[in-house]
Structure 1
Amino acid sequence: MADDPDVPDFEVPVGLFQDLEDLKAQVAALTAQVKALTEHPAGEPGEAFADDTAPGEEDGGEEPGDEEEWQFPPFILLLDPPQYDDELRALIEWVEGVLVPGYLGEPTSDSRWCHLWFEHPVAVARLHALWLAWQELTDPATCGYTGPSVWHRDHLDPCMRELRPSSGPFGGCTKSEHQIDHRLPGTVPSAWRQGT
């Protein structure tokens, strides 16, 4: 084959294969996103509505009582029970099962942690956001090979820098004592609530 004049003689860099695999993963993720975006419940995938109006928008108006529901998990502090309780329960499983044993060392005066972190609203909000990013960036179908690195750099490290210093939400907590009153915020402003 080396003597065949039709076959070019060159070496392929190893990194090119890795780049190709990354591109394949990105194409697969984009293909899945396009497929999800083009599927309509009233027709075949990619089929447009006959008069370019969505269901419930006939005659130019929405039907009474139709409100657009969120497709993705909203900010956890905006949830009401029982949705808040369900989301918090799942978050606790992830924090106690993945984050604490895998990433948190022994708490110190410079690197705090509270075993009752779920009673600190600031910690709940930040850890929930961290968990949502982890779900997205550890799914090979959506993130390729670089997702976990992005999660560490852009999400885990900044979150821990905000939560664990002595000035953070666990600043008044020690190994044997839990304090919440020192950082408990007032009520959530009504402007944060959707539709209020």
Structure 2
Amino acid sequence: MSTDTTPPLAAVAEDLEDAKAKLRELDGTITDFAGQLEANTTQLGELSDTVTDLDARIAESGGAAEKQERPSAPPFIMRLKSDEYLTELAALRFWVNEFLVPTYFSEVSSSAPWCASWQEHPAAVARLHACWLAFQELTNPEICGLAGPSVWHRDHLDPMVAQLRAPTGQFAGCMTMPDRHQHVLLDAPPVH
């Protein structure tokens, strides 16, 4: 008995033809990929030229791309020069005295002090001004929608009132009885 495992010559020839066909198919696929790569490289070059052209146009126009600018608001009051500070303080004083105090500070007690001379407390001026700036923005429905006033109360008014009227706040030594005007400036901490 012979155990010859050598495939017949016809089977080897058939396998060789199959391998050649697969190589031709693979060569065709490689050629297709090479054509796609060349087309993509051409498109990438065209895109790069377009970007370069746009960069040149922007540079020629001074970099002025069309932007929507936010409406300008007055800068923070503590950074203003003397005349600007006084003008801004007058506007703030009107808002505080005509709107804020009658609406939100009607109660004056030992647990809820107020100072009619609030403008002499720099920290109070800073807090009130920041709250006023937020009020101007958050009560404009074109900017903030209809929920703006709620956000203003929660995020700005309530924390500001709590700070001003706290037992250690800016008004701690000021009027605690509605009929008795009292104004005390707290000493500033030492700076070394």
Pick 1 or 2: higher relative contact order, CA cutoff 8 A, min separation 6: 1
Partner of 1:51: 60
TM-score using structure 2 length:
0.59
Change (3 A) 1:185 1:84: farther
C-alpha deviations, 1:108-152, integer Å up to 9, x for none? 111111000010000000000000000001111111110010000
Instruction: Point out the structure with max Rg over C-alpha.
Output: 2
Aligned length: 124
Q: Which TM-score applies when normalising by structure 1?
A: 0.58
Q: In structure 2, how many angstroms separate the alpha carbons of the residues matched to 1:176 and 1:82?
A: 29
Q: Give the drift of 1:50.
A: 5.8
- Contact 1:111-1:164 at 8 Å conserved across structures: yes
User: Given residue 172 of structure 2, which amino acid in structure 1 is its aligned partner?
Assistant: G
Any unmatched runs of 5+ in structure 1? 1-47, 56-70, 188-196
Residue by residue over 1:164-184, the C-alpha shift from the partner in whole angstroms, topping out at 9 and shown as x without a partner, is: 11210111112332111x244
Matches within 5 A, 1:104-143: 104-143=105-144
Work out the percentage of aligned pairs sharing the same amino acid.
Answer: 50
Answer whether contact 2:131 2:156 (CA < 8 A) is retained. yes
Contact 1:113 1:164 in 2 (8 A): yes
Deviations 1:69-114 (A, max 9, x none): xx43222111111100000000000000110001112211111110
Q: Which has the higher helix share?
A: 2
| Aligned partners of 1:121 and 1:184 also within 8 Å | no
* Residue 43 (structure 1) aligns with: none
CA distance in 1, matches of 2:150, 2:92: 21
